[in-house]
Amino acid sequence: IYGYAGCSKSAISQAVAEQLAQEDRLAASFFFFRGAGDRSTISQFAHTIAHQLTATIPDALSIIESAVKRNPGLLSTSTSSLSVQFRELVLNPMKIAASSVELASATILLDGLDEC
C-alpha cells in the first residue's frame, strides 16, 4: 500500500491481517513502528516471523528447530545476516512445509518497512 504519512496505511494493513487471520490465511505478520523498540529495527524480524510460522504451519517448528541446531548463530544478528536468518528461519521452512501442507494462500503481511 502506498500513500502519504498518516493516510491510514497501517490501519488498512491491520484490517487486512485480521481478515486473513479469520480466513486462516495469515501465516505471519510484522508491523514496523518507528521508536517502538524491537518493532523499529529489523533485528527481530526473522525471529518474529519464524515464531509465528510455528503456530500457523504445523511442520514449521521441527524444521526451524533443525536449522537452529545446525547453526545456533541464526539467533544472533551479530553472527548471521538478515538474509541468512530469513532464508533459514522463514523461506526454507515454508518451502519444506509446502510439500506437506497447502500453503498456496498463506500470507506474510509486512507493514511499515520505511519505519526501520
Q: What does the pLDDT read at residue 53?
A: 93
Which residue is it, cell 498456496?
104
Q: What does the pLDDT read at residue 1?
A: 81
Q: Splitting the chain (116 residues) into consecutive groups of 10 residues, what average pLDDT does each group show?
A: 84 93 91 70 85 89 94 87 93 82 76 76
Instruction: Say what the pTM is.
Output: 0.82
Q: What does the pLDDT read at residue 38?
A: 64
Q: What does the pLDDT read at residue 28?
A: 93
